[in-house]
Amino acid sequence: VYNFETCVWTDIHPSGQAPSQRYGQTCILYDGKLYFFAGAGEYNHEKWKLDCLQDIKIFDYNEERWIVSPVRGSIPPRRMNHASVLLDKHMVTYGGSSGKPFGCLNDCFVLQLDTLNWICPHVIRKSNPGRLSGHSMVTYINPGISSAYLHDLWRMTSSRYNYEFGNRKLPYGVLMFGGVDEGNFYNNHLYLLKPGVRGRLETASYTVEIEQLATRGHAPFPRAYHSAVIFQEYMIIYGGRNDKVYSKNYPTLALDDLCVLNIPKMQWETIALYGLHPLDRYSHCMLVNDNQIYLIGGVTANRYCKPELYKLDFDPSNTDNFLNEKRSQLQRVAKEEQRCK
C-alpha cells in the first residue's frame, strides 16, 4: 500500500481467503472496497488456451480483509483483458478475451454493487465497436448534471443531463477508447456508452446506448493495453501497445506518448512534458490523486518495467518551480563554461 502523504510503501497482511493468482483482471473502488473481476490464471496446455475466470473478489481496505460474497443474476462468461468502470453504484464491463484463439468478446454487463446482482442490459448499438480486448473505459459526468441524480444515472431523463458547451452537448456516461480485435487490428476510435432504462419504472430494464464520437485534432496512434484516466475536463491516455509499429528503427511494440482529449471541445490536444520521462510500456496502471497523475508497472520491449512510481504534476506552481530551477541550472552551466574560456 502506498501512502501519498508520506510517500512510503507498506506491506499489509490481509485476513480472509485471498484470490488465486491472475492477470488481465479489472479493479474498481466503491464504498471503501475494491472489486476485482475475472482475469486469467495459468495456461492450460491440454485445452490450448488460458484458463480465464469469471469471479468477483472483494477487498475491504479499511479492515484489510478479503470478503467472500456470492453473486447472482446473469453472470458474464469467463474473460481477461476486458475493461470495467464504476458508474454511480454499478460496475460496467465491456468486451475482453475468452482466452481462446480468436476469442475476443463484444458483450456488456452491469453489476449492481450493493446487491452483487449481474445484469445483461439491452445494448442499443448506434455504432458497433465490435469485439475488443485491451481497450480502456473511463467515467465522465458532465457539469450539467445535478448532484441529486449522481447516485443513479441509469434513471435520468434526457432533460436532466443535456448541458451545452457552445453548440455541443457534453456527454455523460462511459468513454471507451482503443483496443484490438481478434484479427489483430488496433484502433483509435472513441465511443460513448450511455446508461438508461426502458419500460415503466416498476419493471424497467437497463439499457446501454453505444455511439461513436467524432473528435477534432490529431487523434492518438491506434493502440491497446494502454491506460486512461479522467482529470478535470480531460481524458488522458498514456502508452499502450501496437504490434504494427515494430521495425528496425523502432524495435519495440510499446508506446510512450501522452494523449489528451479536451472533452468539452472533443478535441485532441498536445501538451509539453518536462522532467524524467517513463519508458515506453503497456499493461501498466495509472490513477489520479489531487492535481497529480501516478503511473506504475507495465511491460516494455522484452521485459517487465521496474517497480518505479512516476508522477505527472499538473499544478502550475510546481511546474513553474521546476522550470525556474532548470533555467537556473542552465545559467550556472553557461557561466561556468564562459569562465573556463
Cross-sheet strand order for the sheet of 122-125: 122-125, 205-212, 190-198, 173-177, 136-140
pLDDT band at 46 (very low <50, low <70, confident <90, very high): confident
| Greatest mean pLDDT range, 132-146, 166-180, 278-292 | 278-292
Is the pLDDT assigned to residue 162 strictly greater than 70? Answer: no
pLDDT band at 166 (very low <50, low <70, confident <90, very high): very low
Q: How far apart are alpha carbons 304 and 281 in whole angstroms?
A: 9
Is the pLDDT assigned to residue 282 strictly greater than 50? Answer: yes
Q: How far apart are alpha carbons 265 and 157 in whole angstroms?
A: 24
User: What is the pLDDT, as a whole number, of residue 314?
Assistant: 79
Is the pLDDT assigned to residue 103 strictly greater than 80? Answer: yes
Q: Is 311 exposed, middle or buried (0-12, 13-18, 19+ CB in 10 A)?
A: middle
Report the Cα 202 to chain-centroid distance in Å: 33
Q: How far apart are alpha carbons 140 and 175 in whole angstroms?
A: 7
User: What is the pLDDT, as a whole number, of residue 248?
Assistant: 66
Neighbouring C-beta atoms of residue 112, cutoff 10 Å: 17
Q: Mind giving me the DSSP string for 255-285? A: B--EEEEETTTTEEE-----S-PPPPBBS-E
User: What is the pLDDT, as a whole number, of residue 200?
Assistant: 64
Q: Which of 122-126, 189-193, 292-296, 311-315 has the lowest mean pLDDT?
A: 311-315
The residue with greater pLDDT, 274 or 124, is 124
Mean of pLDDT values over 164-179: 74
Model pTM above 0.85: yes
User: What is the pLDDT, as a whole number, of residue 99?
Assistant: 83
Average pLDDT, the chain: 87
Is the pLDDT assigned to residue 167 strictly greater than 70? Answer: no
Is the pLDDT assigned to residue 240 strictly greater than 80? Answer: yes
The residue with greater pLDDT, 207 or 337, is 207
Read off the pLDDT of residues 317-326 as tens digits, 9 standing for 90 and up. 666 666 667 6
pLDDT band at 197 (very low <50, low <70, confident <90, very high): confident
Mean of pLDDT values over 270-286: 88
